[in-house]
Structure 1
Amino acid sequence: MFITNREKTILELLIKTGGRHTSLSIATYLQVSVRTVHRDLKKIENSLDRFGLKLKEKENGSLYIDGSDEAIFKLVQTLSRVEPLDLSVKERKLLLFLNLLRAHDPLKTGPLAKDLSVSVTTLLAYLDDLADWIGDFGLEISRKRGVGVQLGGPESAKRKALGNFFLFYFNEELIEAIFQLSGTDQESEKLILHYFKPNYLIEIEQTIKKNIGKMYAELADSDYVGFMIQVCITMQRCESGFPLTEEDIEDEWSGKMEAFPLIEKISDVFAEHLSIALSEREKAFLAVFLKGSRLQNAESVYYDSVITGKAIKKLIQHVSQQLKVDLTDDFSLFQGLMAHLEPSLFRIRKNLSSFNPLTEQVRTQYPVLFSVTASSLREVFKQIEFPDDEVAYIVLHFGSALEQRKQVSEVHTLVVCPTGIGASKMLATRLKKEMPELSSVEIASIKDMGQMDLENFDMILSTVHLPKQKIPCIFVNPLLSKENITEIHATMEQSAKKKIRPVYFSQNKENVSKRRPERKFHTLDDLMEEMDASERTIREILKNFSVTQVPNAENMEKSIELMVDHMFRRGLIRDADAVFQKLMVRERMAGLGIPETNMALFHCRDQSVKTVSFQIAHSDRHFALRGMDGRNVNVSNFLLLLAPEHLTLVQQEVLSTISSSLVEDSESTLIFASANEKIIRAKMEETFYQFLLNKFSKD
């Protein structure tokens, strides 16, 4: 089968979105004239004849491929193997980038242009574009007459630039390739996107799947793909003789990061299965990259991020004041921002770029919210400069919270949205607003989708192209454009009559809270159960709370050990040694001292902890501990926050309330640092009182 790159793209569009594209929409998508599309369609008809298929047109001008499922499946298989006769511009730029990365010496422009099947003039234009792209990563392309062109810069920057190039220009192709890896021939020598070895990607995906949930919180889908390809790039660069050097990574990062145990584990698997041994420096590089990744679920956020939590509350206050909409008691928004901002801040501080394909659309569609969010970030995080890609992600979180206030009904569909937490929430709430005839909505990642019974859903909405499904599957924009809504309505007209029950609802706008989105409880029992759970958790914490004096302690470790023994004697934990060791491991991973106080917040989750509990140990001596901001803090008050291995969402909310109240204001800080049990208990009671009011009362 001999086709051009454009013909292949048109065929793929007709297969994946058959019946919804016209010649005009295809021309718009490809940025060519309608006449050019008509010329390509003539050639495509000849190609389809070989498979017993026909290209047909509906009354409304939309095109579709007519024929048996078997013939269409055979066409899909053939397209997956066929190499177009020409290459797209972005593919030629990728090949140029890869040639520069692989070269140890300067490359001559003449032979390089010949390899890419372009003129020298076109090659120079490509080099200009590529130089602009890599400049943001601290790389440069040197050009010397008579010598050639060469890529210069640190190896770590080259890897980051290559990974971001793939994510920016080939995001959908990457996700689709990874989605289909299970059916790939592991012995195949055909590279994916001209670079990735299939057997490496398969091994990496399987290893990450087995270990990511056990040793590190699940990644957001977009960061899962980013981490996966960065691992593959690291392995292939090492194998090709391009290791990291001393200038690429700071030695002190190695072994001291929360993500490092996972990297150690998966590196051992690669050494065994692929015979590629990564050095400590390479492992540290991947650990830094993983540390900067966003979490998949807001519930996965650690509840001890006191400083970040305080800053996020200020951020929500700033945005609320400027928009004149009170979002300060939206805990879902707080959780979502915590899940995103902690790794986001880490990425910015370590100069790890973050790619956001929606930045320009977010800026265009929500100009006011974008401006307000950007100015609020500058006000709250004075020492940090947020790039537009990061601002756009945060805008999606606030946009999601604002959209939920307009939510009027439920829908019945599966949303596959690998663009992150905020984007998936926004898509779901837009659906609830625009499609009241549907009965429920569920959000799933591409990884989870493969394990779900899709027949329980009436349709799938995905922000990336997916292989053909048994039920209607529509490719949509995460911000749900007008065209998407029209497309969804058209699909529902065909299938809703048989599958979807009509849902009747009413809404009295006067009863909707103006300050926060109305909480949804399916039954009275649900509401009472959550109230009971909140009450039980708070009562348990207050019952077990105490301030214990630990005089004459030799060091910080002894103070914590005495406190843990005290809790063991009270029956709050089953294994004192296990809890103590876990607390020490956590302290070595990152600073626990609260800046500008005499307090340190120690915490852990462990199966030997019987119930959530909060304790304070007061020492008559001060010990120097690493603070949460990296600087040393003189600590005499050790705050212990312990929880069972598995936390409910209610327990998560209550614990977050404690940790965030520690530095809520100067008065709160003084109270918790006072070591006065009576005053601290009164403060906690006041905090929990406000928490329950915000959670369950109506304005």
Structure 2
Amino acid sequence: MNDLYISNREKIILEHLLNQKNGVTIKYLANRLNVSTRTIYREISSLESTLAQYQLRLQKEEDGYYIKGNSKFIEELQSEIYNASDELTTKKRQSLLMINLLMEPHEIKMESLAYDLKVSVGTIQQDLQAIEEIFKEYDIQIKRKKARGIKAKASESSLRLIVSGLIASELNEYNFFKLFDQNNLLQKKVMNKNKNPFLKVLDPAALEIVYKLVKQYEEFQFEEVNDTQLQSLILFITFSIKRIKENQLVALKEINKHTEELKVRERSESISRALLKEISAQYGLSHIPLEEVVFLALQIDGLNVPLRDEFSDDYDLQLSFQVRELIRSVSEEMQVQFYQDETLFKDLFAHISAAIQRNKAPMPEVNNPLLEKVHNEYKDLSLTIEEKLSKEFPNFEFQFNELLYVVIHFASAYERNSSAQLLNVLIICSSGMGTAKILESRLRKNIPEVTNVDVSRISQLHQLNYEKYDLILSTIFLQGFEEEYKVVTPLLMDDELKSIRTYVGQLLRKKVRELRDLEKGMPKIQEDHQSFQDLYAKIVSVKRLLELFDLKEIAYYKNLQETLYQICLGLPETVLEDPRVVAQKLEKRMNTAPIGIPNTGIGLFHCIHETIKEPSFSIVDLPQPFDIINMEQKKMKLNRILLLLAPDPMDASTQDMMGTISASIVESDANLHLFNNGSKEQIEHHLNQLFLEKMN
């Protein structure tokens, strides 16, 4: 039987005719479809030709219309209707038109396109005007030749991205993965019943081969990849096979265009090479060019990337800074402490890193109504994020869907933080309610996270439930009082406020972590069930790192290269085995990636090397500044060097310890100011607090 292409209205009428055994009247159908009876008569008339394909006919009797014919053919029609694709909407029709144009090697006439898509020539002309705007973005031209027709002229890379992207946008992930059985084999019957015209573009045999290969890699290479991205990758490779077999290859100049700013990751290229090697063996292809390997690697680069540790050779410090600046600026605009949510940073870092990789070879956007709903529900947040993204990432244009995924991360953090920031404070005051009100006013004005304040006299303390309070403040010492509390003056002096702010920050981060764990259904205990020995080892490591910490000024040297060497030379022998090798690696790192932090005099240098004996963090002030490039690609004066060193290989504990320091430096404006201007004692105190909180 031929594919069943019917309108959505015809489909509904047929369903009513098949389901209503007692007949269906014109009036009943008009009410159900909310149209006039004249429209129903017209639809009934067109249905007769559809039914004739199944050797069925429409019969009118006193009770209404019935479908008459062999029960076998009626069942076949029911099955076809159930599996029939939806009505070709304008968007779907235009997507098919783009695919037809791109895949046709010669000119094609309007009449032929109109016949294939079952519309008029006038409709095709209107569709062409709409899709030309999309084609312009990919440098695709539509050539018109009189009497011969039209042709789309596109580069191979653009053609593959658009066609595979359009197919992916019109396939439901659930239905797509149902095409395959438990052994990753394509279920031929299910495939044949699927009437989605976009699937017909692909070779079923190639689809099965690619699916099996990608699923083999999924467990250990694509564990962080979601179903939508996995589907897109499978479709892209399947379509690429079709083009390679037809000897339609990606040109070197197209690869250079995509990779001139960003390099392909070695891991992605390795996976790409392995996949294409397997595919060439399956199809007996003698040689797959390097350009094809790199182009597929670009697509793999655009998948969700696992978050690298914040202290590693391939960690993108510049991106880390940009993401933290984004969080900080959105926090200020929305008056929400997003920067306290470390989960938000990690999720955003992973997403934006992948989004930048995807931008090297972007696919058309997939229509997602859920994202539109998010945009409408969080309109202010969406507009703020859109503005701040363009400011923090001026050289990168986020597609609408990418933008809304960023909004989702912030919205999740907002819900967590909204719950976490319901802080209840108890004030115990013995000198009268007037004094307590002054204290409450100062507290609310300077600690906005405080949402509820109760004031109690000492005589009422026995009546209170202390479990409901996050913070207890008292203007006097309470002899024998067993709950944790802070003694403050009634006027809340600046140093007291500073101490309370620090405590509230720690408290909120703890509450956010607990809420995050609850969301994941995790018990409120440490995930690794660390033993006492593990904890003791961490404490010893941190203690040793803090003992080695130093802040000093170095003598003047003519260039930064010599300065780095002298800094390394001055480190204890217990830390460095070969100062020159480490100094050279620090210099190389500086020349390949910016280490200067904008709006400060700080340069963040870090190195992992086998000649480093133990972890070290030190700060060096320069007598005269050096000119360097910062993370915003602007010149800056380097006044202070922050130096983090660790052995290679690093154990997990060291990695966590060094990553904690690295992340803390750019976590907030207050931290940046501290590391930029603070004394040894002030920074040492901060590090102590940082690790105490980490181990709680």
- State TM-score, norm by structure 2: 0.58
Distance (whole Å) between structure 1 residues aligned to residue 112 and residue 371 of structure 2: 37
Pairing 1:345–2:356 present: yes
* Match status 1:282 vs 2:292: yes
Q: 1:593 to 1:130 in 2, by over 3 A?
A: same
1:294 matched to 2:293? The reply is: no
Paired residues of 1:609 and 1:644 also in contact (CA < 8 A)? no
Q: 1:558-615 CA deviation, whole Å, 9 max, x = no partner?
A: x99x989x99x96999xx9xx99xx99x979974755788967556699x99987768
Q: Counterpart in 2 of 1:364?
A: 376
Aligned to 2:265: 257
Superimposed CA distance per residue, residues 434-481 of structure 1 (whole angstroms, 9 cap, x where no aligned partner)? xxxxxxxxxxxxxxxxxxxxxxxxxxxxxxxxxxxxxxxxxxxxxxxx
- Trace 1:31-430 onto structure 2 (pairs within 5 A): 84=84, 88-89=88-89, 92-172=93-173, 175-176=176-177, 180=181, 182=183, 184-185=185-186, 193-211=199-217, 214=220, 218-250=224-256, 257-258=265-266, 259-276=268-285, 277-295=287-305, 304-348=315-359, 355=366, 357=368, 358-405=370-417
Measure, in 1, the Cα distance between the counterparts of 2:466 and 2:366: 40
C-alpha change, 1:694 and 1:538, in structure 2 (3 Å) is same
Query: Aligned pair in 2 of structure 1 residues 683, 386: CA closer, same or farther (>3 Å)?
Result: farther
Cα offset for 1:397?
Answer: 0.5
Write the distance in 2 (CA, Å) between the matches of 1:226 and 1:306. 29
Deviation of the 1:338 alpha carbon:
0.8
> Per the alignment, in what secondary structure is the counterpart of residue 151 of structure 2?
strand
CA distance in structure 1 between the partners assigned to 2:627 and 2:270 by the alignment = 26
Does structure 2 retain, via aligned residues, the 8 Å contact 1:592–1:627?
yes
Conserved? CA contact 1:131–1:141, under 8 Å: yes
The Cα of 1:646 is off from its aligned counterpart by 7.5
1:285 partner SS: helix
Q: Does 1:685 align with 2:694?
A: no
Q: Could you tell me whether the CA contact under 8 Å between 1:537 and 1:651 is conserved in 2?
A: no
- Taking the TM superposition and a 5 Å limit, the aligned residue runs for 1:596-611 are 601=605
2:445 corresponds in structure 1 to none
Q: What SS class does the counterpart of residue 115 from structure 2 fall into?
A: helix
Q: Deviations over 1:349-398 (max 9, x none)?
A: 66666546244222212111111211222333344443332221111001
Q: Helix, strand or coil: the match of 1:284?
A: helix
1:331 deviates by 0.6
Secondary structure at 1:194's aligned position in 2? helix
**CA–CA separation in structure 2 for the residues paired with 1:590 and 1:125:** 50
Mapped to 2, the partners of 1:127 and 1:640 lie a distance apart of 59
1 CA distance for matches of 2:151 and 2:232?
A: 26
SS at match of 2:244: helix
**Cα drift, residue 311 of structure 1:** 2.0
CA offsets per residue over residues 519-575 of structure 1, 9 Å max, x none?
Answer: 3274577799599487566346446779999xx9xx99xx99x989x99x96999xx
**2:596–2:604 contact (8 Å) kept in structure 1:** yes
Q: 1:178 to 1:86 in 2, by over 3 A?
A: closer
| Amino acid corresponding to residue 690 of structure 2 in structure 1 | F
Q: Taking structure 1 as reference, are residues 309 and 328 closer, same or farther at Cα in structure 2, changes over 3 Å only?
A: same
Partner of 2:662: 658
Q: In structure 2, what residue type is equivalent to 1:688?
A: L
Q: Contact 1:4–1:86 (CA<8 Å) still a contact in 2? A: no
Q: Using the aligned pairs only, state the percent identity.
A: 19
For 2:339, what is the secondary structure of its paired residue?
Answer: coil
Q: Do 1:138 and 1:153's aligned partners in 2 also have CA atoms closer than 8 Å? A: yes
Q: By how many angstroms is 1:270 displaced? A: 2.0
Q: Distance in 1 between matches of 2:183 and 2:680?
A: 56
* Whole-Å separation in 2 of the counterparts to 1:355 and 1:348: 15
Q: Following superposition of structure 1 onto structure 2, how do residues 433-582 of structure 1 map, counting pairs within 5 Å?
A: 511=470, 515-516=508-509, 517-520=511-514, 522=523, 532=535, 535=539, 538-539=542-543, 541-542=545-546
Q: Counterpart in 2 of 1:471?
A: none
Tell me if structure 1 keeps the 8 A contact 2:307–2:350. yes
User: CA 1:397–1:667 in structure 2 vs 1: closer, same or farther (change >3 Å)?
Assistant: closer
Amino acid at match of 2:109: K
Letter in 1 for 2:290: E
Q: 1:181-233 CA distances to partner (integer Å, 9 max, x unpaired)?
A: 84534899979711223333333333334446656773343323323322223
Structure 1: runs of 5+ lacking an equivalent: 15-30, 47-74, 409-505
Contact 1:572 1:609 in 2 (8 A): yes
- Residues 368 and 624 from structure 1, CA distance in 2 versus in 1: closer, same or farther, beyond 3 angstroms? closer
Task: Give the length in aligned residue pairs.
Answer: 537
> Take 1:530 and 1:368, find their aligned partners in 2: how far apart are those partners?
46
- CA gap of 1:279–1:395, structure 2 versus 1, over 3 A, is same
SS at match of 1:293: coil
Q: What's the C-alpha RMSD, in Å, of the aligned pairs?
A: 6.1
Q: Distance in 2 between matches of 1:587 and 1:267?
A: 33
2:291 partner amino acid? R
SS at match of 1:328: helix
- Residue 460 of structure 1 corresponds to none
Q: In the aligned structure 2, how far is the partner of 1:617 from the partner of 1:301?
A: 19
Gaps of 5+ in 2: 16-31, 52-74, 421-464, 472-503, 518-522
